[in-house]
Amino acid sequence: MPVSLDKVRTVAPGLVDLYKTARVSLDKRGLGGERAAVYLVLDRSGSMRRYYKDGTVQHLGEQVLALSANLDDDGVVPVVFFDKVAHPVIEVGLTEYRGRIDAEHERLGHMGTTNYAAAMQAVVDHYSRTSPADPALVIFQTDGSPDSRRAAESVLCESSTLPIFWQFIGFGDDEFKFLRKLDELPVPQKRAIDNAGFFEAGSEPMALGDDALFQKLTEEFPGWLGEARAAGIVRP
């Protein structure tokens, strides 16, 4: 069962509106009643500095937490920050989400480059280690291309036989040619099924609005669920 609205009202009243908006978006996508473990992956490359400073990344964390509360029963989102490395997974929950993304970002200090592959492998390892009963929806935020395109593509393709869907979201003005490539990698030549989606949030992601963001975050997930179940990757 997802986290109830009553519980959100009690432990995280500041998320009630986001929780309700996320629920409506999930219902529109035919995802009402579906269950998923929701992950958040956050870019800490130097060019991301302004999005941490202006609260955009913190707000994305709250949006994802509200989405997760509708899909999972523990009210917790595993979060992976990455720059030149993937930092250890932390958990952000309904009882301690305010300012948590900002505080963790500050604690990590120096901002580096953009190692997609390390962050993606950290998610795969965490998911495999914790063995949740539900599939994973991984929301992967970045504002540019990875240090190694080959390594990132390799992890994506290798994970296509796992119950993990990668939803990439681009911040900023980059052309995101590589993420568009990942989104369109051929099946079955490169991967077992189409296990990734991508959209641009633009240079001012908070201007997108909560409902629009939730709609984009869940646009390709239902199709993947159907294909993954048909292929035996996700249990019926």
Residue 131: band (very low, low, confident or very high) from pLDDT cuts 50, 70, 90: confident
pLDDT of residue 154: 98
The proportion of the chain whose per-residue pLDDT surpasses 70, expressed as a percent, equals 100
Q: Tens digit of pLDDT for each residue in 218-227?
A: 999 999 999 9
Nearest alpha-carbon partner for 133 in 231, 8, 28, 1 = 1
The pLDDT of residue 2? 93
Tokens of 50: 């302004």
| φ/ψ of residue 59, rounded to 5 | -65, -40
Position 204 confidence tier, pLDDT thresholds 50, 70, 90: very high
- Helix, strand, or coil here: 132? coil
Select from 200, 199, 197 the least CA-distant residue to 224: 197
Task: Specify whether the CB–CB gap between 158 and 189 falls below 8 A.
Answer: no
Is residue 42 classed as helix, strand or coil in its secondary structure?
strand
pTM of the model: 0.97
Count of domains for the chain: 1
Mean of pLDDT values over 21-48: 97
- Residue 1's pLDDT is 83
- The residue among 143, 157, 155 whose CA lies nearest residue 56 is 143
Reply yes or no on whether the pLDDT at 111 is more than 90: yes
235 part of a folded domain: no
When pLDDT is averaged across residues 209-234 and rounded to a whole number, the result is 97
> Is there a domain that residue 236 lies in?
no
Reduced to 3 states (helix: H, G, I; strand: E, B; else coil), residue 29 is coil
Q: Is the pLDDT of residue 198 over 90?
A: yes
- Which value, to the nearest 10 degrees, does the dihedral of the CA atoms of residues 23, 205, 193, 224 take? 10
Does some domain include residue 174?
A: yes
* Structural domain boundaries enclosing 202: 5-230
pLDDT band at 236 (very low <50, low <70, confident <90, very high): confident
Q: How confident is residue 132, by pLDDT bands cut at 50, 70 and 90?
A: confident
**What is the enclosing helix (H) or strand (E) of 151?**
helix 149-158
Distances (CA, A) of 208 to 27, 96, 200, 201, 203: 20, 25, 10, 7, 10
What does 105-116 look like in DSSP terms, one character per residue?
HHHH-S-B---H
- Asked, for residue 54, whether it belongs to a domain, the answer is yes
Q: How many CB atoms lie within 10 A of CB 106?
A: 10
Q: Could you tell me if 195 and 167 are in contact, meaning their C-beta atoms sit under 8 angstroms apart?
A: no
3-class SS of residue 197: strand
- Residue 186: band (very low, low, confident or very high) from pLDDT cuts 50, 70, 90: very high
Alpha carbon 90 to its chain centroid, in Å, reads: 14
Q: In which element (H, E) is residue 128 found?
A: helix 116-130
**CATH number where 63 lies:** 3.40.50.410
Give the mean pLDDT of the chain.
97
The 10s digit of each residue's pLDDT in 39-94 is: 999 999 999 999 999 999 999 999 999 999 999 999 899 999 999 999 999 999 99
Residue-wise pLDDT for 133-177, tens only, equals 899 999 999 999 999 999 999 999 999 999 999 999 999 999 999
- 168: nearest Cα among 119, 226, 225, 100: 119
